[in-house]
Amino acid sequence: MRRAKVKRALVPNETLANALGANELARELQVRGHEVVRTGGFGLAWLEPMLVIDGKAYGPVQDLDALDAVALGPLAELPELVRQQRIVFDRCGHIDPLDYDPGWLLEQLEREPREIIEEIKASGLRGRGGAGFPAHIKWQTVFDTPAPQKYIVVNADEGDSGTFADRLIMEGDPFRLIEGMMISGHATGADKGIVYLRSEYPLAAEIFANAMDKSRALGLLERFDIELFIGAGAYICGEETSMLESLEGKRGEVRFKPPVPAVAGLFGQPTLVHNVITLCSVPGILDMGGKAYAEIGTGASTGTSTFQLAGNVKRGGLYELPFGISLRELVEDWGGGTRTGRPFGAVQVGGPLGAYLFERHLDTPLGYEDMAALDAGIGHGGLVVFDDTIDLVQQAHYAFAFCAHESCGKCTPCRIGSVRGKEAVAALASGEYTEDRLEVIDELCDLMEQTSLCQMGGMTPIPVRSALGEALSRKGEVN
């Protein structure tokens, strides 16, 4: 950090901070003669808008004349940041997102593709979008499949409620993603990358487009072409084959697998599809070495996860921490309990297709296998906290309703099952707790799990069963 005569102020240019007045604060600081740098956000939602003036942090800032009241001390000692292990988000918040020196990236692009894939294999990196599939297998498959054209497709269709990691990194450090894309392209033999970004993230689109312009000016796009595609409001397009259909300009209906996209994906060519955070984990892995990365985390859940604490919680935000931290540590220590101050009720882990978990589950470590043992998953790392006023039957109804709303309609179990499920739960909610009604829901869940074409229908039973099971056992009606 260089020393300046005028005071240097870091002000986030990030959607949440801007909604809370960061743009106005930046203008006012400029008027007062500060050197203002618009950075990304640190992800500490409850401190936004958070300013850093000459290395000292303040937040949430309402009034520039009353900064002392919200002084947080030196940024370098802020416990909420220091206690994290920021590998993906190490630069985010500290830098001007467009201020980039490609030196390190260009060095990586000189390495042997096989050697890079070996590092990814050694790291144990698994997909951060939800499925948790080992990344190196996809990379190796794309590498091994000969084709005239190969693609990198970035899944930035971050539709899960409770998640905002993709948005934060694309707004705050878009070059981290460009690094991940270019390195994976180099390693697999793909020279074209497409980012599929949801339309609900206009600021991320603007900042990423500016980073693409900067990349072009730096000559980076001559070796690897990047295109930004904006979605049109369809949750299902976060499913990889639906995304590929959408990128081909069609309805986003899921495809049958096989073939997997790594063999025949976009326009029938081998395609590496990864979530934003998976690709953004790659630079850190190459920097520290795959082996060192694998030592972080727990069991087969290596490295860090960008946990996003959301919903009814005091200190919500993004916390990048090693896998293995318990739900209780996140919800209680990091989150500080519910925002309403009422007792904890439930936490939904991993988005709308994730399980509702309760007090007795809170000591479970957040790892892929530990969560699977509870019939739950980590998904994209989002945790939505509810207080004790949660209506679990209503949440089960919502899970079916959301599936009905977002189903692509291609397969019957999802298209029809979600509607019938919604009706059955509505009947339950109206007081008809009959045995045969419960049996219908149970059979429907089995059917959707076993026969849906993709995880939309296949995983909707997870929130349904976890919420409904708990509701009924509390009513003493479960057999």
Partner 1 sequence: MPNSEVIRDLVAACVGQVGAPVTALRKIVDTHGHIEDEHVRIVADVFNLSLADVRGIVSFYTDFRTSPRGRKHIRICQAEACQSVGSRALTKEMTAALGIELGETSDDHAVSLESVYCLGLCASGPCAMVNERTLVHATREELLTCAEPK
Positions in the binding site for partner 1 (CB under 8 A): 15-16, 18-20, 45-46, 48, 158-164, 166-167, 194, 199-202, 227, 229-235, 246-253, 266, 308-313, 316-317, 339-340, 348, 352, 382, 384-387, 390, 395, 398, 402, 405-406, 408
* Shortest distance (Å) from residue 58 CB to partner 1: 18
Nearer to partner 1, 119 or 245 (CB): 245
Full 3-state SS string of the chain: CCCCCCCEEEEECCHHHHHCCHHHHHHHHHHCCCEEEEECCCCCHHHCCCEEECCEEECCCCCHHHHHHHEEEEHHHCHHHHCCCCCCCCCCCCCCCCCCCCHHHHHHCCCCHHHHHHHHHHHCCECCCCCCCEHHHHHHHHHHCCCCCCEEEEEECCCCCCCCHHHHHHHHCHHHHHHHHHHHHHHHCCCEEEEEECCCCHHHHHHHHHHHHHHHHCCHHHCCEEEEEECCCCHHHHCHHHHHHHHCCCCCCCCCCCCCCCCCCHHHCCEEEEEHHHHHHHHHHHHHCHHHHHCCEECCEECEEEEEEEECCCCCEEEEEECCCEHHHHHHHHCCCCCCCCCEEEEEECHHHCCEECHHHCCCECCHHHHHCCCCCCCCCEEEEEECCCCHHHHHHHHHHHHHHHCCCCCHHHHHHHHHHHHHHHHHHCCCCCHHHHHHHHHHHHHHHHHCCCHHHHHCHHHHHHHHHHHHHHCCCCC
Q: Which is nearer to partner 1, 48 or 449 (CB)?
A: 48
Residue 122 CB, shortest distance to partner 1, in Å, is 33
Of residues 163 and 275, the one with the C-beta less far from partner 1: 163
Report the nearest approach of partner 1 to the CB of residue 13 (Å): 13
CB nearer partner 1, residue 293 or residue 402:
402
Cβ 452 to partner 1 shortest distance, Å: 18
Measured from the CB atom, the residue of 48 and 240 that comes closer to partner 1 is 48
Q: How far is the CB of 222 from partner 1 (least distance, A)?
A: 19
Question: Which one, 165 or 220, has the nearer CB to partner 1?
Answer: 165
For the CB of residue 45, give the shortest distance to partner 1 in the complex, in Å.
4
Give the shortest CB-117-to-partner 1 separation in angstroms. 26
Q: Kindly tell me which of 281 and 348 has the beta carbon lying closer to partner 1.
A: 348
